Structure 1
Amino acid sequence: MTAAQLPRIVLKPRRAGPFFKRHPWVFAGAIDRVEGDPVAGDVIDVVSNVGNFVARGLYNPVSRIRARLYTWDESESLDDDFWRTRIERAIELRLRMYGGTPAERACRMVFSEADGLSGMTADRYGDHLMIQWTSFALAQRQAVILEALKQSLNPKGIWLRTEKGIGDMEGLEIRDGLLDGEPPPRPIVFEENGLQFAVDVVEGQKTGYFFDQRENRKAAADYARNASVLDMFCYSGGFGIAAAALGGAREVLCVDSSQAALDIARANAERNGVADRMRFENSNAYRKLEELQQAGTKFDLIILDPPKMARNQGGVEKAIRGYFSLNRLAVDLLPPGGILVTCSCSGLVGRGDFEDMLRQVGLQSKRGLQILEARIQAPDHPVSPYCDESLYLKCYICRVV
């Protein structure tokens, strides 16, 4: 089918602006009509209400994102060569940044919208790749994308991890499992900032680990010298172990609601020779913070790295209230001069919203807050200036006075 014959999404009047500016998601509310008879996965052109070409993408009538856009060049086809080139370009960036270092074998190789591949991520753990699809239409191109990954990285195996609720969101019925080659070892061991971590990429959260916090874990450790540290939502122990091993913390309490995660964190502490300075507790974060507050316990450094709290726009206000409660409780556990490292991976919660939340925490606690560092995700999770949602991770290192 030629470009002239492609089905078209015709946008409503005055709704084309974001897409001319290269935002990659076309929601149903922006669409006036669909011309032709496209089915899920078809290539489709997006045009303004007067018929001017805007972009070319993939269609999904089931998803709230009716079309994901991939090119703004009318002469460019979304053929196999297009997808291969996008994969190669994404991998070239990581090899340029990390080639010859341990991070080359423990990083995000493809990051969805930021790499022009809206609807997929690929993480590398040693000789294995973990793939996630969040787009039905892009998942239909799995064969050509996997072949491109194999040609560039020659992995021993490629494993599929599925996003919770993807069937309802995209009409994509898939299950975790082996896509190619050998299954990954359990656990799989990799190096980060000179430390050794073992994770279960088959059962763990997301693809098993959170590479996006790599630089932030090291930055937080710089404030941990001889400190008493509380690592909330510790998962596999990344922040707490870095605080002990890299920062020289004298003691670290790691808290998580998952016993399986705590077992992995404890094993990682032993692997890095810091288990004697670390304790691990299975508890609800809010409840534990309240217990510590009632006991009058103080810490020199507190790390808050909760899971995503807002999965849609309707959940943003609730998420901000949750962040406020966590940070308000944490501030009371810090003496004057204590350090708060507070994070949010909810892309729908903007930096301004998060900073306003911190401002309210300071006002209500009658404590002064100084933001020492305002950090984002690691560069293997690049940010697209055309898609605000790709700048999702916020990590603030604050001094409480």
Structure 2
Amino acid sequence: MLTQKNDTLLTDSVPRVVLQPRKALPFFSRHPWVFRGAVSRITGDPAAGDIVRLHAHDGVFIAWGLFNPNSNICVRLYSWDESIPLTDEFWRTRIDEAIGLRKVLFPSPDSSSACRLIFSEADGLSGLTVDRYGDWLLVQLTSRALAQRQEVLLTRLREALNPKGIWLRTEKGIRAAEGLELADGLLWGEAPPRPLFIEEHGVRYGIDVAEGQKTGFFLDQRDNRRRIADFVKGHRVLDVCCYTGGFSLNCLVNGGAAEVVAVDASEAALTQARANAELNGVGDCLQTVKQDAFKLLEEFEERGEVFDTIILDPPKLARNRQGIEAALRGYYSLNRFAMGLIRPGGFFVTCSCSGQVTHEMFADMLGQAALHANRRLQLIEVRGAAADHPASIHCLETDYLKCYLGRVL
């Protein structure tokens, strides 16, 4: 059980983390992650979750942060103003700032609305993600130090939003990364229904917020799903890694596609996709295939299958810098096969949610894939995440989603 931190009172005895020479510039520039290798020494004896002051090698104050000796990110930074330490009021203010943006983006939410309320580093709350699905909040804690401040965070969320319940979702690998032992479950109030129904761009979805991927739905692709519908009237569409049918249903309901072949490796996801198609009256137009994406595209090439539009939205292929090379090989293979299956003049949506893979890397990979597929790829739009997933200019890792819309010739 985690001990609740009370940060209301601070003293002059706050431990200091001092950086190595020539390591301070990223943190003066407000990047929030201090890795172990950048640290020269620590004064005091901070425990996991304690507040610390970050200083340059020459002693100059940089920022207030939270310490975790068990994580490769040993300090997460939150305040660069020495006069604004990390009190309970600080956390409440940051939550209010994040919610304030979403009130502008979604001025009239209702019980069928869904959006991201807090996006970790992008909202100045590194390690905290909160999604709203109707009357329920789905919380992810990827920082041990913030997890130790659950009470103040959840209290402010309840006060500001008056949800029916708050459910915790955990991220794969977080126990090893942060030394954080959490399990999915109810944090407060009523458990969410399964399925829980939302509506987006006139399409209704039943989602499983308790066991589905992420917090139940890929809210970051909201506007990209709707945009591709403008290009697919009468098309035969292939939706690879379709999950519960977000792109597929927009193509059918909003775009007037003739047929969608939806592919995923998860039978549970495909079952929900079929149910969502029936919910929207397009069940007869959706064909689902349970298959590995790489194998299926190769099989389709061998069979001479042709599609008017193909959508590729694979899961994250690189979780750290060591995985970038393998991820690019995977993206290359998927994209090369996919472009070879598109009729001349057809449309192509290809995505990457791997933050470690930059736009430049992704574009270079696409060029190589098009070349070896003997296709010309004409980019129409380069898109990113929806507005409720803002990026921080100080932490470009938050600009993670790449969604390229093009025409294949």
Where does the alignment leave 5 or more consecutive residues of structure 2 unmatched? 1-8
Match of 2:311 in 1: 303
Match of 1:369 in 2: 377
Distance in structure 1 (CA, Å) of the matches to 2:143 and 2:406: 37
SS at match of 1:377: coil
Match of 2:343 in 1: 335
Match of 2:149 in 1: 141
Q: 1:242 aligns with which of 250, 254, 261?
A: 250
Q: Tell me the TM-score normalized by structure 1.
A: 0.99
Check the 8 A contact 2:312/2:351 in 1, yes or no: yes
- Cα offset, 1:366, TM superposition: 2.2
Please report the RMSD computed on the Cα atoms of aligned residues, expressed in angstroms. 1.1
Distance in structure 1 (CA, Å) of the matches to 2:111 and 2:22: 45
Match of 2:223 in 1: 215
Distance in structure 2 (CA, Å) of the matches to 1:361 and 1:329: 8
Match of 2:38 in 1: 30
- Cα offset, 1:104, TM superposition: 8.4
- Cα offset, 1:221, TM superposition: 1.1
Match of 2:91 in 1: 83
Deviations 1:228-284 (A, max 9, x none): 000000001000110011011000000000000000000000111111111011111
- Cα offset, 1:35, TM superposition: 1.1
Q: 1:167 to 1:150 in 2, by over 3 A?
A: same
- Cα offset, 1:103, TM superposition: 9.5
* 2:204 is aligned with 1:196: yes
- Cα offset, 1:99, TM superposition: 1.3
Distance in structure 2 (CA, Å) of the matches to 1:377 and 1:324: 22
- Number of aligned residue pairs: give it: 401
Q: Where do 1:1-400 residues align within 5 Å?
A: 2=10, 4-101=12-109, 105-400=113-408
Check the 8 A contact 2:14/2:53 in 1, yes or no: yes
SS at match of 1:336: strand
Distance in structure 1 (CA, Å) of the matches to 2:127 and 2:370: 38
- Cα offset, 1:335, TM superposition: 1.4
Check the 8 A contact 1:230/1:299 in 2, yes or no: yes
Q: 1:398 to 1:245 in 2, by over 3 A?
A: same
Check the 8 A contact 1:95/1:104 in 2, yes or no: no
Check the 8 A contact 1:26/1:67 in 2, yes or no: yes
Deviations 1:17-68 (A, max 9, x none): 0000000000011111111100100000110000000111100000000000
Distance in structure 1 (CA, Å) of the matches to 2:13 and 2:115: 40
Q: Which amino acid counterpart does residue 280 of structure 2 have in structure 1?
A: N
Q: Which amino acid counterpart does residue 229 of structure 2 have in structure 1?
A: A
SS at match of 1:130: strand
Distance in structure 2 (CA, Å) of the matches to 1:251 and 1:58: 51
- Following TM superposition, the consecutive aligned residue runs of length 4 or more in structure 1 with deviations greater than 4 angstroms are 101-104
Match of 2:3 in 1: none
Where does the alignment leave 5 or more consecutive residues of structure 1 unmatched? none
SS at match of 1:174: coil
Q: Which amino acid counterpart does residue 29 of structure 2 have in structure 1?
A: K
Q: 1:304 to 1:312 in 2, by over 3 A?
A: same
- Cα offset, 1:102, TM superposition: 5.4
Check the 8 A contact 2:111/2:134 in 1, yes or no: no
Distance in structure 2 (CA, Å) of the matches to 1:4 and 1:351: 44
Distance in structure 2 (CA, Å) of the matches to 1:41 and 1:339: 49
Distance in structure 2 (CA, Å) of the matches to 1:102 and 1:348: 35
Distance in structure 1 (CA, Å) of the matches to 2:60 and 2:88: 26
Check the 8 A contact 1:58/1:67 in 2, yes or no: yes
Deviations 1:68-117 (A, max 9, x none): 00000001121111101111111111011111155983000110000000
